[in-house]
Structure formats: structure tokens, C-alpha cells
């Protein structure tokens, strides 16, 4: 039985609308003439009404098999990327041999966020993280700027640049950024202490 493969899915309304807009734009990526949906449907071998229903979000009960065998090939995208849009706020990916897709309105995937949150939780529970987090919070709340750039070593400067990348990461919220910066400082200090202890043992 293939019932589990062909059963209709009732997709989220907002996800359907987003997919519809992406597919509508995708038509013109394939061929400027496909601005006219009727021309697109006729040449790409898809039923005009089905294309209209999906692009306008009028039907949310298309079986995954239909998306895979009819829609994805017609629009020149991978079936997996269609599911990413519907289930995980992803974006379309051009199928092999098809014209490239220009990313639009790409947002951090929910699945990625689900992976990030446990990592942040474990960081906040790391032994010794407290003082580092307090220092980062104080700096951030007071918007203190470093004035000792010329005194930093190469390793210290690279570490600081890593922090700047964390602060600029749009996928993280403010609290997550503070936690990650504090954890990097904790690990940096541990590495420095370990290096110093190893050097002391060698000198002895």
C-alpha cells in the first residue's frame, strides 16, 4: 500500500501563501515568458488550475506525491526544498540542470532554531560561566567600547573578531549572543591557563 505516500496533507495557510509567492516568482526565473501562467502551464506540462490553486494558496491538501511528481519538476525545483518551505520556513532550491533560484525572504529555519536552543541552554549551565556572562551583560548594557585594540595580541584580536561576528549574527537573539560570547571567553581563558600550565611543566 502507498496510502502514506499519496495521502493529502493540510499545510499551514501562511506557509502555503509563501510557497505560492516563491513559485510565482520562480516561473519567470525559468523563462520571462512564463510571467503568463497559461504559457507556463502549457509548456511545462502542468494543469493550469492546479498551478493557480497552489500559487494562490487556494488548496492546501495536495498530496506530497503530487508535489514531488508534478509541481517540483514543472517549477524546476527540488521536492525537498518545497517541503522545507512548507514545513520549516526554508527556501526553494533549483533542481539539477534548471536555471538558478535567487533566494527571497530567507528566514532562519525553525529546525535550525530547535537545534540552537539546547546548545544555548547547555552553555548557560556550563561550570564557571556565571562571571563571564555577568561581565558580558555589563558591557552590553553599558555599550562599553574597547580602547585597547593596539595592546591586543594576534590571538586576542582574532577572539575579539569572533565576538563581533557573534554580535552581528541575525540568526541569534540578544540573549543567545551574550551567552555565546561569555562561553567563548570562558573557553579562551581555560585554553590560556592550560597553555601556561603546560609551559610551566616543560620549564620544570
CA distance 9 to 64: 7
Residues 39 and 73 in one domain: yes
pLDDT digits (tens, 9 = 90+) for 56-107: 888 777 788 889 999 999 999 999 999 888 887 789 999 999 999 988 655 5
The pLDDT value given to residue 47: 93
Residues 7 and 38 in one domain: yes
The pLDDT value given to residue 1: 33
The pLDDT value given to residue 42: 95
CA distance 167 to 181: 8
The pLDDT value given to residue 97: 93
The size of the chain, in residues, is 204
Residues 150 and 185 in one domain: yes
Provide the residue range defining the domain that includes 36: 3-88
> For residue 164, is it within any domain?
yes
Residues 82 and 140 in one domain: no
Summarize the confidence of residues 103-128 as an average pLDDT.
65
Residues 132 and 193 in one domain: yes
> For residue 67, is it within any domain?
yes
3-state per-residue secondary structure call for the chain: CCHHHHCCCCCCHHHHHHHHHHHHHHHHHHCHHHHCHHHHHHHHCCCHHHHHHHHCCCCCCCCHHHHHHHHHHHHCECHHHHHHHHHHCCCCCECCCCCCCCCCCCCCCHHHHHHHHHHHHHHHCCCCHHHHHHHHHHHHHHCCCCCCHHHCCHHHHHHHHHHHHHHHCCCCCHHHHHHHHHHHHHHHHHHHHHHHHHHHHHHC
Residues 13 and 67 in one domain: yes
Residue 142 pLDDT more than 80? Answer: no
Residues 127 and 186 in one domain: yes
Residues 79 and 10 in one domain: yes
> For residue 98, is it within any domain?
no
Number of domains in the chain: 2
Backbone dihedral angles phi then psi of residue 69, each to the nearest 5 degrees? -90, -25
Report the CATH number at residue 14: 1.10.260
pLDDT digits (tens, 9 = 90+) for 2-54: 333 444 456 678 888 889 999 999 999 999 999 999 999 999 999 999 999 99
Residues 123 and 198 in one domain: yes
Residues 72 and 131 in one domain: no
Specify whether the CB–CB gap between 94 and 19 falls below 8 A: no
Residues 24 and 64 in one domain: yes
* Higher per-residue confidence, 118 vs 67: 67
If phi > 0 it is left, if psi is from -120 to 50 it is alpha, else beta; for residue 143 that is left
> For residue 104, is it within any domain?
no
Summarize the confidence of residues 180-190 as an average pLDDT.
86
Output Rg (C-alpha) for the chain, integer angstroms: 25
Closest CA to 51 of 29, 19, 88: 19
Amino acid at each position: 500500500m502507498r496510502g502514506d505516500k499519496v495521502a493529502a496533507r493540510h499545510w499551514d495557510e501562511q506557509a502555503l501563501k509563501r510557497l505560492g509567492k516563491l513559485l510565482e516568482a520562480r516561473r519567470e526565473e525559468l523563462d520571462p515568458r512564463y510571467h503568463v501562467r497559461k504559457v507556463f502551464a502549457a509548456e511545462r506540462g502542468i494543469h493550469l488550475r492546479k498551478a493557480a490553486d497552489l500559487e494562490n494558496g487556494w488548496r492546501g491538501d495536495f498530496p506530497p506525491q503530487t508535489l514531488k511528481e508534478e509541481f517540483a519538476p514543472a517549477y524546476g525545483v527540488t521536492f525537498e526544498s518545497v517541503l522545507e518551505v512548507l514545513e520549516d520556513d526554508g527556501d526553494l532550491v533549483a533542481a539539477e540542470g534548471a536555471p538558478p533560484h535567487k533566494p527571497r525572504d530567507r528566514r532562519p529555519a525553525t529546525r535550525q532554531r530547535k537545534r540552537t536552543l539546547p546548545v544555548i541552554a547547555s552553555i548557560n549551565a556550563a561550570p564557571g560561566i556565571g562571571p563571564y556572562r555577568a561581565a558580558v551583560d555589563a558591557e552590553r548594557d553599558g555599550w562599553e567600547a574597547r580602547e585597547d585594540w593596539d595592546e591586543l595580541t594576534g590571538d586576542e584580536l582574532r577572539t575579539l573578531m569572533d565576538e563581533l561576528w557573534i554580535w552581528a549574527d541575525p540568526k541569534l537573539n540578544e540573549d543567545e549572543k551574550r551567552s555565546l560570547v561569555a562561553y567563548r571567553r570562558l573557553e579562551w581563558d581555560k585554553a590560556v591557563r592550560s597553555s601556561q600550565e603546560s609551559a610551566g611543566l616543560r620549564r620544570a
